[in-house]
Amino acid sequence: MKLVLKLVFLLLLNYGYGQVVLDADGPGNTYELITSVLAPGYNPIETPDCSHPEFGDHIDEIFDEELNAHVFRFHIHVTPDNDRCINFDRQRNEIKSYSQSPDNLLGIENETVQYKWKFKLASGFQSSPNFTHIHQLKSVGGSLESMPMYTLTTRKGNPDRLELRYAETSSQITLSQTDLAPLIGTWLEVTETITYSTDGTYEITIKRVSDEETLFSYSNNSIINWRPGAEFVRPKWGIYRSLLNDQDLRDEEVLFANFSVEEIDLSSAENPAINEISIATLADNRLYIKNIPGEITSIQIFSIDGRKMMEEKIGSTSEVNLDVSSFPKGIYMINFQGNHVNLAKIITVQ
């Protein structure tokens, strides 16, 4: 058995700094890939598979010639898809972070987080006059958690439009909107930066990938981005639309790519020791890890489907040997955890 290191995503949380990247890597194991990044060992995917099992997975991966890369494809069907066999007046196909996700995927008070992703609405895309959400930031905890804080939604109208919706409390308002037509049939790149605070900031730009022209933007330097009793805020992406006017809808495919969540703390110093961790394979199929900084307290290894394969507590040592000779061939995630530190890497066992 040979262990080949393959860095698929980097998760760094170091004194307030962190980044998570989720990229498509080709057909197959799509749910496992998403899970391994957003909530290893749990379930960050909400699909209508239960009501439409004959279709198969409602999220898959295809190669996109414009981006010259694999991308995620989210499917939604007017019939028989619904909201996880729970609600039948709407339908949902989304990915998210939530309480079981790593801490650096959850926005906390007084933290600044930048979310980036790309998406493409197919030519002829049809919106509900009620709502067709493609992104939300949801507060968790407290009496207001059922109402998303920020929502990007498309809406049928004259003309159809993209709306940025906001809720300080239990009711939403539209902060800004734009004609949807220029946003259809082309790859778009979104950058959303938010400071979670009762005196917070918010900024979002949507650019066309082909020429980097800004098609939509909004910013606010003093806005309430933290609710009473809140524990954290989490992102969601996908298709979540009303079925109350299903005559206005069609089966849709929405493409997504290059999800990124980055914690920003410009006042905090980076710890360069995190970047010095070295992973190598010895002849007897042991994983040799050295240059482990003192902040690391444990090392965990997960399979691609989220099963914990191994956990090693770290004391004052800076190097360990882990026996992976019994592992089946496949993709695994090594997760280094500790005080203000969360570093994860993907390896492939061959």
Express each pLDDT in 199-220 by its tens digit: 999 999 999 999 999 999 999 9
- What's the CA gap between 34 and 95, in Å, rounded? 8
Other Cβ atoms within 10 Å of 298 Cβ, number: 12
Instruction: State residue 268's pLDDT score.
Output: 36
Is residue 342's pLDDT more than 80? Answer: no
Which residues contact residue 95 at a Cβ distance below 8 angstroms, ignoring those fewer than 6 apart?
34, 38, 44, 45, 46, 59, 236, 237, 238
Whole-number pLDDT of residue 202 = 96
Cα–Cα dist 216/197, whole Å: 24
Whether the CB-CB separation of 335 and 299 falls below 8 Å is answered with yes
Overall average pLDDT of the 135-162 stretch = 97
Task: Look up residue 314 and give its two tokens.
Answer: 């770290």
Q: Is the pLDDT of residue 336 over 90?
A: no
Averaged over 322-339, what is the pLDDT?
A: 80
- Look at residue 347 and tell me whether its pLDDT is greater than 80: no
329 CA to centre of own chain: 27
For 39-56, the pLDDT digits (tens) are 999 999 999 999 999 999
User: End-to-end alpha-carbon separation of the chain, Å?
Assistant: 6
Task: Judge whether 311 and 300 are in contact, CB under 8 Å.
Answer: yes
User: Which band of pLDDT confidence, cut at 50, 70 and 90, is reported for residue 293?
Assistant: confident
**Residue of higher predicted confidence among 103 and 23:** 23
* Per-residue pLDDT tens over the stretch 11-22: 333 333 457 899
Residues 6+ apart with CB under 8 A from 65: none
| Helix or strand (DSSP H, E) at 75 | strand 69-76
Architecture of domain 18-264: Sandwich (2.60)
Closest CA to 145 of 245, 232, 36: 232
The CATH number, out of the four listed (2.60.40.3080, 3.60.10.10, 3.40.50.2020, 3.30.420.10), of the domain defined by the range 272-349: 2.60.40.3080
Q: What is the pTM of this model?
A: 0.75
* Residue spans per domain, the chain: 18-264, 272-349
The number of beta carbons lying within 10 Å of the beta carbon of residue 236 is: 21
Cα–Cα distance for residue pair 302/42, rounded to 1 Å: 11
| Runs of H (alpha helix) within the chain | 30-38
